[in-house]
Structure 1
Amino acid sequence: MSADADELRASLKKLNARATQAKMDLHDLSEELPTNWEMILEIAQRCHDAHAALMDARKAAAASAA
Protein backbone atom coordinates (compact mmCIF):
# COMPACT_ATOMS: atom_id res chain seq x y z
CA MET A 1 0.00 0.00 0.00
CA SER A 2 1.37 3.40 -0.95
CA ALA A 3 1.91 6.33 1.36
CA ASP A 4 -0.77 8.24 -0.56
CA ALA A 5 -3.29 5.49 0.07
CA ASP A 6 -2.39 5.43 3.76
CA GLU A 7 -2.72 9.21 3.93
CA LEU A 8 -6.10 9.08 2.21
CA ARG A 9 -7.33 6.35 4.55
CA ALA A 10 -6.19 8.35 7.60
CA SER A 11 -7.86 11.49 6.25
CA LEU A 12 -11.12 9.63 5.61
CA LYS A 13 -11.00 8.19 9.13
CA LYS A 14 -10.57 11.67 10.65
CA LEU A 15 -13.31 13.17 8.49
CA ASN A 16 -15.65 10.31 9.37
CA ALA A 17 -14.98 10.79 13.09
CA ARG A 18 -15.61 14.54 12.75
CA ALA A 19 -18.87 13.94 10.86
CA THR A 20 -20.03 11.36 13.39
CA GLN A 21 -19.30 13.73 16.29
CA ALA A 22 -21.15 16.56 14.55
CA LYS A 23 -24.14 14.26 14.00
CA MET A 24 -24.15 13.33 17.68
CA ASP A 25 -23.88 17.00 18.71
CA LEU A 26 -26.90 17.81 16.55
CA HIS A 27 -28.79 14.84 17.97
CA ASP A 28 -27.96 15.83 21.55
CA LEU A 29 -29.06 19.39 20.90
CA SER A 30 -32.37 18.20 19.45
CA GLU A 31 -33.08 16.15 22.56
CA GLU A 32 -32.42 19.15 24.81
CA LEU A 33 -34.62 21.62 22.95
CA PRO A 34 -35.79 24.23 23.71
CA THR A 35 -32.66 24.55 25.87
CA ASN A 36 -29.82 26.03 23.81
CA TRP A 37 -32.09 26.64 20.81
CA GLU A 38 -29.76 29.52 19.92
CA MET A 39 -27.12 26.95 18.94
CA ILE A 40 -29.23 25.25 16.24
CA LEU A 41 -27.76 27.09 13.25
CA GLU A 42 -24.16 26.86 14.45
CA ILE A 43 -24.31 23.15 15.19
CA ALA A 44 -26.29 22.37 12.05
CA GLN A 45 -23.74 24.26 9.93
CA ARG A 46 -20.88 22.39 11.56
CA CYS A 47 -22.68 19.11 10.88
CA HIS A 48 -23.35 20.08 7.26
CA ASP A 49 -19.73 21.14 6.69
CA ALA A 50 -18.33 17.95 8.23
CA HIS A 51 -20.55 15.72 6.12
CA ALA A 52 -19.86 17.73 2.95
CA ALA A 53 -16.10 17.34 3.52
CA LEU A 54 -16.52 13.61 4.12
CA MET A 55 -18.59 13.11 0.97
CA ASP A 56 -16.07 15.10 -1.11
CA ALA A 57 -13.20 13.00 0.26
CA ARG A 58 -15.07 9.77 -0.46
CA LYS A 59 -15.67 10.90 -4.05
CA ALA A 60 -12.00 11.78 -4.45
CA ALA A 61 -10.99 8.40 -3.02
CA ALA A 62 -13.32 6.57 -5.38
CA ALA A 63 -12.00 8.56 -8.34
CA SER A 64 -8.39 7.82 -7.46
CA ALA A 65 -9.14 4.13 -7.04
CA ALA A 66 -10.74 3.90 -10.48
Structure 2
Amino acid sequence: MRDLESLKAEVKKLSTKATQAKMDLHDLSEDLPANWTSILEVAQKAYDAFAVLERKRQELNKLERA
Protein backbone atom coordinates (compact mmCIF):
# COMPACT_ATOMS: atom_id res chain seq x y z
CA MET A 1 0.00 0.00 0.00
CA ARG A 2 1.26 3.44 -0.89
CA ASP A 3 2.25 5.91 1.74
CA LEU A 4 -0.51 8.49 2.16
CA GLU A 5 1.83 11.46 2.31
CA SER A 6 3.76 10.48 -0.82
CA LEU A 7 0.48 10.00 -2.69
CA LYS A 8 -0.70 13.45 -1.58
CA ALA A 9 2.56 14.92 -2.87
CA GLU A 10 2.15 13.09 -6.16
CA VAL A 11 -1.41 14.39 -6.53
CA LYS A 12 -0.17 17.92 -5.88
CA LYS A 13 2.50 17.59 -8.60
CA LEU A 14 -0.01 16.11 -11.03
CA SER A 15 -2.44 18.91 -10.28
CA THR A 16 0.23 21.46 -11.12
CA LYS A 17 1.02 19.62 -14.34
CA ALA A 18 -2.67 19.44 -15.30
CA THR A 19 -3.14 23.13 -14.58
CA GLN A 20 -0.18 23.95 -16.82
CA ALA A 21 -1.61 21.77 -19.59
CA LYS A 22 -4.93 23.60 -19.23
CA MET A 23 -3.19 26.94 -19.53
CA ASP A 24 -1.25 25.77 -22.59
CA LEU A 25 -4.53 24.79 -24.23
CA HIS A 26 -6.08 28.10 -23.25
CA ASP A 27 -3.11 30.06 -24.63
CA LEU A 28 -3.28 28.12 -27.87
CA SER A 29 -6.99 28.86 -28.22
CA GLU A 30 -6.38 32.58 -27.79
CA ASP A 31 -3.77 32.56 -30.57
CA LEU A 32 -5.89 30.76 -33.14
CA PRO A 33 -5.72 30.49 -36.08
CA ALA A 34 -1.95 30.64 -35.55
CA ASN A 35 -0.51 27.24 -34.63
CA TRP A 36 -3.81 25.50 -35.35
CA THR A 37 -1.88 22.38 -36.36
CA SER A 38 -0.86 21.80 -32.74
CA ILE A 39 -4.43 21.68 -31.40
CA LEU A 40 -4.58 17.87 -31.21
CA GLU A 41 -1.16 17.57 -29.57
CA VAL A 42 -1.84 20.22 -26.92
CA ALA A 43 -5.35 18.92 -26.25
CA GLN A 44 -4.08 15.35 -25.89
CA LYS A 45 -1.49 16.46 -23.35
CA ALA A 46 -4.18 18.23 -21.33
CA TYR A 47 -6.50 15.23 -21.57
CA ASP A 48 -3.76 12.83 -20.47
CA ALA A 49 -2.71 15.06 -17.57
CA PHE A 50 -6.25 15.29 -16.22
CA ALA A 51 -6.88 11.56 -16.71
CA VAL A 52 -3.82 10.68 -14.63
CA LEU A 53 -4.76 13.27 -12.01
CA GLU A 54 -8.29 11.86 -11.72
CA ARG A 55 -7.02 8.30 -11.27
CA LYS A 56 -4.58 9.38 -8.57
CA ARG A 57 -7.24 11.43 -6.77
CA GLN A 58 -9.49 8.37 -6.71
CA GLU A 59 -6.61 6.29 -5.37
CA LEU A 60 -5.98 8.91 -2.69
CA ASN A 61 -9.66 9.02 -1.69
CA LYS A 62 -9.73 5.23 -1.29
CA LEU A 63 -6.58 5.30 0.80
CA GLU A 64 -7.91 8.08 3.02
CA ARG A 65 -11.15 6.16 3.65
CA ALA A 66 -9.31 2.97 4.61
Matched with 2:64 is 65
Task: Render the CA deviation track for 1:1-50: whole Å, top value 9, x for unaligned.
Answer: xx812201110011000000000000000000000000000000000000
Q: Whose RCO is larger (CA < 8 A, sep 6+)?
A: 2
Task: Could you tell me which runs of 5 or more consecutive residues in structure 2 were left unpaired when the two chains were aligned.
Answer: none
Matched with 2:20 is 21
Runs of 4+ in 1 over 6 A off after TM superposition: none
Within 1, Cα distance between the matches of 2:47 and 2:17?
A: 11
Give the deviation of 1:64 after TM superposition.
1.0
Matched with 1:32 is 31
The Cα RMSD (Å) is: 1.1
Within 2, Cα distance between the matches of 1:9 and 1:65?
A: 10
- Number of equivalences: 64
Please give the TM-score of this superposition, normalised by the length of structure 2.
0.93
> Sequence identity of aligned pairs in percent?
52
Task: Could you tell me which runs of 5 or more consecutive residues in structure 1 were left unpaired when the two chains were aligned.
Answer: none
Please give the TM-score of this superposition, normalised by the length of structure 1.
0.93
Within 2, Cα distance between the matches of 1:64 and 1:55?
A: 14
